Chain A
């Protein structure tokens, strides 16, 4: 279990993380989603005691990270897969961690097998690893102490689609065994595959959180027609809020309402559905547009 209460980090006048609170319960894989620079990594570093919080607190399994006994056996942490000494072999990276965590060499081999690094790959120096292999190694290091909680920063970054699905399986099994997973991502489609629940963050603040389904149903109806401009006008005339997006309209109403208006006014619909993956995407863009870098320019 991870509990974050009013966590805030200020650097001079800049607020990197602004009063965030949430709790990740055992048995869940939660995606911490936000654009680059939203404060995800800073928040995760505060959760793991690497960065002191300006105010608020974070606990893992009910204790501040720095108070945990042998943290490696309780919390698996991977904050940057590239932060490995390039001169060590993958196996050596794990062996050093194993000494500190207090597990044997057999567990190192288990962890390597768990993340699908072959014997030959484990014997290679990290310098010659692809980003995907470094991610696997980082996850192996996180799993080494058989922890109850995982905190992973951008674990799917650099993985191919097959690797992302593999990670979903791995984390799902971990959570099904009573584990708690918090992973960050700046890519919605990635986190959508891997996580079941989402905490969305933009410019240091939480903008939305809940299960994927919950957030999807909040996404309204996506509609695309031969004449979106006319349809938007008709819907607005009918008193339904409409948002224009690149690929059509997002309407804050049931698909039936939109379909009825379109049928009455003889607009040819090309697409009509509730929420959907792109709905969440639009929402992600919408929620973060005001708080992202793009928003600064606008």
Chain B
């Protein structure tokens, strides 16, 4: 601190001639290392009842669906792939909520006052939250896969999962989680974000079905139709382009706007 500002600013407290040398700040780059931010965000997602139960319920639903299918379903034609698709079906709906809760918690509970004073570079907190949500989704997915494998063992079905289908499934679910994060950041309000993430893409799908003229656009911008080949493991060149545009519109755009909002917003 230069001496001229010290004389210009009226001081309170302490003796002006105090021998205590002015405390020096810690040396180092601004903020905290990213690994610690990520660990803290990951922990925050599962250390509340709501967060922990969300994960448990998702894993349990996947397991229950499988159990029900094995007991009452036409188990004869079940294969590993069909079982896995079955167990991940509810996850496509629930995983975005995980992302939403990660993104909105700081604002609905006002814990942002603490989080953003410990790491003022909010962009890194946003990144950590997105990564934490994706990591947790992978854990849930691993549980669902294990459950599907068990069910398949019990049913004696074929092991017909190709790398393309497995990769497509993982990618599609991660896209849905990221979409949850994006909508959470965009609205910073859990109920609004959940309703939007469930209703808006569906409303768009319905709109494209009602108005035939939107059909061509829908192929490029409808999340259901752009992820369909991904789930099926049949991605061709055009499918990738359509996936990219759909994800850009429904995930990356809200993610960008939401992140901008979080960076600029006053934390109260």
A85 near B48: Cβ-Cβ < 8 Å: yes
Please, which residues of chain B bring their CB within 8 A of the CB of A29? 13
Please, which residues of chain A bring their CB within 8 A of the CB of B33? 102
Whether B39 sits at the interface, judged by CB under 8 Å, is: yes
Complexed CA–CA distance, A28 and B22 (Å): 13
The answer, among A26, A30, A63, A211, for a CB contact under 8 Å with B18, is A26
The binding surface of chain A is classed by DSSP as mixed
Interface magnitude class on chain B: 35 or more
Please, which residues of chain A bring their CB within 8 A of the CB of B268? 45, 50-51
Whether A100 sits at the interface, judged by CB under 8 Å, is: yes
B26 near A178: Cβ-Cβ < 8 Å: no
The answer, among B13, B25, B116, for a CB contact under 8 Å with A61, is B25
Please, which residues of chain B bring their CB within 8 A of the CB of A60? 25
CB contacts under 8 Å to B, within A11-34, are 21-30
Complexed CA–CA distance, A83 and B113 (Å): 7
Whether A68 sits at the interface, judged by CB under 8 Å, is: yes
Whether A99 sits at the interface, judged by CB under 8 Å, is: yes
Please, which residues of chain A bring their CB within 8 A of the CB of B167? none
Please, which residues of chain B bring their CB within 8 A of the CB of A75? 117
Please, which residues of chain A bring their CB within 8 A of the CB of B36? 99-100, 102
Known: A50-B267, A79-B113. A27 touches B9 (CB 8 A): no
A210 near B12: Cβ-Cβ < 8 Å: yes
Whether B216 sits at the interface, judged by CB under 8 Å, is: no
Whether A97 sits at the interface, judged by CB under 8 Å, is: yes
A41 to B, closest residue via Cβ: B268
Whether B3 sits at the interface, judged by CB under 8 Å, is: no
Count of residues in A whose CB is under 8 Å from the partner chain: 66
A26 near B120: Cβ-Cβ < 8 Å: no
24 contacts across the A-B interface (CB closer than 8 A): A1-B22, A4-B9, A25-B12, A25-B13, A28-B13, A28-B14, A49-B117, A51-B267, A61-B24, A66-B30, A66-B121, A70-B26, A70-B28, A70-B31, A71-B31, A71-B120, A79-B117, A85-B48, A85-B105, A92-B47, A97-B40, A97-B118, A180-B13, A197-B13
Whether A218 sits at the interface, judged by CB under 8 Å, is: no
Chain B interface residues (CB < 8 Å from chain A): 1, 5-6, 8-16, 18, 20, 22-33, 36-37, 39-40, 43-44, 47-50, 105, 109-121, 266-268
B9 near A97: Cβ-Cβ < 8 Å: no
Complexed CA–CA distance, A102 and B32 (Å): 8
The 7 closest A-B pairs by CB, nearest first: A28-B13, A69-B28, A25-B14, A83-B110, A87-B48, A61-B25, A50-B267
The answer, among A1, A85, A97, A100, for a CB contact under 8 Å with B23, is A1
A26 near B14: Cβ-Cβ < 8 Å: yes
The answer, among B25, B50, B113, for a CB contact under 8 Å with A50, is B113
Whether A224 sits at the interface, judged by CB under 8 Å, is: no
Complexed CA–CA distance, A59 and B16 (Å): 19
The answer, among A74, A92, A141, for a CB contact under 8 Å with B26, is A74
Whether A48 sits at the interface, judged by CB under 8 Å, is: yes
A124 to chain B: closest CB distance in Å? 14
Known: A27-B14, A85-B105. A49 touches B120 (CB 8 A): yes
A28 near B117: Cβ-Cβ < 8 Å: no
Most central of B25, B31, B49 by chain A CB within 10 Å: B25
A3 near B9: Cβ-Cβ < 8 Å: yes
A sample of 8 more A-B contacts (CB under 8 A), given A22-B10, A23-B12, A84-B114, is A22-B9, A26-B23, A63-B25, A72-B118, A77-B114, A83-B109, A100-B119, A178-B23
